Structure 1
Amino acid sequence: MKAFFIKYTAVILFLTLLSSCEDFLNEVPQTARSAENFYKTAADFNNAVIGAYANFKNPGLYGNGGTNASMLWLTEVTSDNSTHGATKAVSNLSQFELDEFNISLSNTVTTAAWTGHYIGIGRVNTILDQLPNATFEEPLKVRYEAEARFLRAFNYFNLVRLFGDVQLIQNSIDNPYGTNTIARTSADAVYDLIISDLIVAENNLPATIPATEAGRASKWAAKALLGKVYLTRNQPELAAPKLNEVILSGQFNLSTGYAATFSPATSYANNKDVILAVQYKTGLVGQGSALWSDLIPWGIPGTLFGTTGSGGGFMQPTEDMEKAYEPGDLRKDASMQSTYTAANGTLVNVRYVVKYKQTGPQSGDADTDFPLLRYADVLLMYAEALNTQGQTAAAEPFLNQVRTRAGLPEKTGLSQADFALALEQERRVELAFEGHRWFDLVRTGRYLPVMTTKGYAVKEFHRLFPIPQRETDLNSQLTQNPGY
Structure 2
Amino acid sequence: MRYKIYWEVTALALMLAVSSCDGLLDKEPISEISEGMVGDNGNASDTIRFKTAAQAESFLGTCYNEFQTEYFQLDYYINSEMQSDNSYQGANGVELEQIENYQLSPTNKNITRDWGYLYRFIGNANVVIDNVLKTPDQTFPDARKRQIRAEALVMRAWCYFDLVRLYGGVPLVLKAIPSINSGNVENVYPLLYPDRATEDQVYAQIEKDLIESLPLVQEFPATKAVVSKALVNSLLAKFYATKQPADWAKVKQYAQNVVGDTRYELLPDYADLFKATAQTNSKESIFEVQYNLGSNEFWGYDMHMGTDWKKFNTPTNDLVKAFDNENDQIRKGVSIAFADVSGKWTDKNWAVTAYPFAGKYKSRGAKVMLVRLADIMLLLGEAENELGGTTAAQGWLNKVRKRVSLPETSAVTKEDLRLAFEKERRLELAFEGHRWFDLKRTNRVIPVMNGFKDSKGSNIFKGKIQPYMLLWPVPQSERDMNSKLTQNAGY
TM-score range, shorter chain: 0.7 to 0.9
For 1:304, the equivalent position in structure 2 comes to: none
Question: In structure 2, what is the equivalent of residue 73 of structure 1?
Answer: 78
Contact 1:256 1:273 in 2 (8 A): no
Seen in structure 2, the aligned counterparts of structure 1 residues 82 and 267 have a Cα distance that, compared at 3 Å, is same
1:441 corresponding residue in structure 2: 439
What is the Cα deviation at residue 19 of structure 1? 6.8
Task: Classify the secondary structure of the residue corresponding to 2:154.
Answer: helix
Q: Distance in 1 between matches of 2:48 and 2:195?
A: 26
Q: Deviations over 1:155-204 (max 9, x none)?
A: 11111111110101111012476544311111111111111111122211
What's the secondary structure of 1:348's corresponding residue?
Answer: helix
- d(CA) in 2 for partners of 1:314 and 1:9? 33
| Alignment-mate amino acid for residue 48 of structure 2 | A
Corresponding residue for residue 307 of structure 1? none
Contact 1:5 1:279 in 2 (8 A): no
* Among candidates 248, 251, 254, match of residue 242 of structure 1: 254
Whether the 8 Å CA contact 1:181–1:477 is kept in 2: the answer is yes
- Counterpart Cα distance in 1 of 2:144 and 2:121: 21
Residues 347/93 of structure 1: CA separation in 2 closer, same or farther (3 Å cut): closer
Q: What TM-score do you get using the length of structure 1 for normalisation? A: 0.85
Offset of residue 419 of structure 1: 0.2
Q: CA offset at residue 341 of structure 1?
A: 7.6
Query: Helix, strand or coil for the counterpart of 1:294?
Result: helix
C-alpha distance in 1 between matches for 2:131 and 2:328: 54
The share of aligned pairs that are identical, in percent, is 32
Q: C-alpha separation between the residues in 2 aligned to 1:463 and 1:15?
A: 44
Query: 1:338 Cα deviation (Å)?
Result: 3.3
Letter in structure 1 aligned against 2:220: T
Is 1:50 aligned to 2:61, yes or no?
A: yes
Secondary structure in 2 matching 1:84: strand
CA distance in 2, matches of 1:102, 1:239: 33
Cα deviations across residues 249-295 of structure 1 (Å, max 9, x unaligned)?
112111252121122423324x1111001221111x2x101122221
Match of 1:187 in 2: 199
Q: Given the alignment of the two structures, is residue 463 of structure 1 paired with residue 467 of structure 2, yes or no? A: no
Superposed displacement of residue 55, structure 1: 0.9
Letter in 2 for 1:288: E
- Structure 1's unaligned 5+ residue stretches are 23-27, 301-309, 359-365
Secondary structure, aligned partner of 1:40? coil
Q: CA RMSD in A?
A: 2.8
Q: 1:282 aligns with which of 272, 293, 297?
A: 293
Q: How many residues get paired?
A: 439
Please tell me the residue identity of whatever aligns with 1:132: L
CA drift at 1:375: 0.2
Query: Among residues 356, 360, 364, which one is paired with 1:351 in the alignment?
Result: 356
C-alpha displacement at 1:391, in angstroms? Answer: 1.7
Displacement of 1:389 in angstroms is: 1.6
Question: Against the structure 1 CA distance between its residues 413 and 289, is the aligned structure 2 distance closer, same or farther, given a 3 Å change threshold?
Answer: closer
| Distance in 1 separating the partners of 2:130 and 2:56 | 12
The alpha-carbon deviation at position 35 of structure 1 amounts to: 2.2
2:305 maps to 296
Give 1:231's match in structure 2, choosing from 231, 241, 245.
241
Q: Report how far residue 369 of structure 1 moved.
A: 2.2
Letter in 2 for 1:289: F
Asked if structure 2 preserves the Cα contact closer than 8 Å seen for 1:315 and 1:352, the reply is yes
Q: Distance in 2 between matches of 1:128 and 1:336?
A: 41
**Residues 107, 143 of structure 1: alpha-carbon distance in 2 compared, 3 angstrom cutoff:** same
For residue 338 of structure 2, give the secondary structure of its aligned residue in structure 1.
strand
> Is the contact between residue 180 and residue 474 of structure 1 (CA under 8 Å) also seen in structure 2?
no
Q: Counterpart amino acid of 1:337?
A: A
Matches within 5 A, 1:253-268: 253-268=265-280
Q: Quick check: 221-230 or 319-328, which moved more?
A: 319-328
Unaligned runs of 5+ in 2: 1-19, 38-42, 181-188, 345-350, 453-459
